[in-house]
Structure 1
Amino acid sequence: MAKSIQRFLTNAGTLLSRPWAVGVVILYAVLWIIFDPASLNWHGIVSLATLFMALFIQRSEHRDTQAIHAKLDELLRVNSGARSQLTTLDDREPEQVEAFRTKAQSADENR
């Protein structure tokens, strides 16, 4: 159960970084204005602004992460001494990546 929740959260974060997510919020706002304009007070405007900001931040973080991954993939590709298992590390769940980093750090400290 916990693994499926972790996978869902990871996939949801990736999906919410797509441009169509902003379109969904815009559609929601338009439908709100059409069907219940009286309830769109300052609380509603703040809620919509919060949704937009969360999506913008998620998009920015996803873009930065993808750029870092692309750069690291290139470095791993050209470095023949790198372990091949590192190239697929970004396909794993965040907890697995953290466990790998902890294991690698402890191996470095034992040298």
Structure 2
Amino acid sequence: MEKTFNRLAGAVAHATGRPWAFSLCLASVLIWAASGPIFDYSETWQLVINTGTTIITFLMVFLIQNTQNRDGAAIQAKLDELIRSGQGKNDFIGIEHLTEAEVEEFRAACTRAKERQVAA
């Protein structure tokens, strides 16, 4: 089930980021707006666009978040491997799991190291 969801989430995220998807959405809104006079701008006419956009937005949030989570984890794994295999400090591996204050300590240490390097 997870692999199927990941494939679906990736495909939807890829497809919705394309120009044709935006054009389709824009055309839908324009057609809806143009049909307003035909339906006397009724509550049902308004409900159609509100319901449609709410459902699509609700579903897209989960699909895009899933894709971003996987992408972020993959990038983090790549960075960790570069640190591990290179000249970086291994202390930085896994800092994404620390608290914000702990990460800020690492950032401050990097700033101090940079300033020492520039001064030397």
> 1:77 pairs with 51, 67, 84, which one?
84
Query: Deviation of residue 41 (structure 1)?
Result: 3.8
> 1:43 pairs with 38, 50, 55, which one?
50
Match for residue 94 of structure 2? 88
Query: Deviation of residue 94 (structure 1)?
Result: 4.5
Sequence identity (%)? 29
- Tell me, in whole angstroms, the C-alpha distance in 2 between the residues paired with 1:44 and 1:83: 51
Match for residue 63 of structure 1? 70
Over 3 Å counting, the alpha-carbon distance change for 1:52 and 1:88 in structure 2 is: same
- Tell me, in whole angstroms, the C-alpha distance in 2 between the residues paired with 1:85 and 1:67: 19
C-alpha contact 2:95 2:103 (8 A) present in aligned 1 = yes
- Tell me, in whole angstroms, the C-alpha distance in 2 between the residues paired with 1:106 and 1:42: 54
Match for residue 22 of structure 2? none
Query: Deviation of residue 47 (structure 1)?
Result: 1.0
- Tell me, in whole angstroms, the C-alpha distance in 1 between the residues paired with 2:105 and 2:67: 26
Over 3 Å counting, the alpha-carbon distance change for 1:54 and 1:84 in structure 2 is: same
Query: Deviation of residue 71 (structure 1)?
Result: 0.8
Query: Deviation of residue 102 (structure 1)?
Result: 4.0
Across the aligned residues of Structure 1 and Structure 2, the Cα RMSD in angstroms comes to 2.9
Paired residues for 1:1-16 under 5 Å: none
What is the identity, as a one-letter code, of the residue corresponding to 1:103?
A: A
Alignment gaps of 5+ in structure 1: 1-18, 23-37
What is the identity, as a one-letter code, of the residue corresponding to 1:67?
A: A
- Residue 59 of structure 2 corresponds to residue 52 of structure 1: yes
Q: Which has the higher contact order (CA 8 A, sep 6+)?
A: 1
Q: TM-score, normalised by structure 1?
A: 0.50
- Tell me, in whole angstroms, the C-alpha distance in 2 between the residues paired with 1:101 and 1:59: 28
State how many pairs are aligned: 75
Over 3 Å counting, the alpha-carbon distance change for 1:53 and 1:95 in structure 2 is: farther
Question: Looking at CA atoms only, which structure, 1 or 2, has the larger radius of gyration?
Answer: 2
Query: Deviation of residue 76 (structure 1)?
Result: 1.8
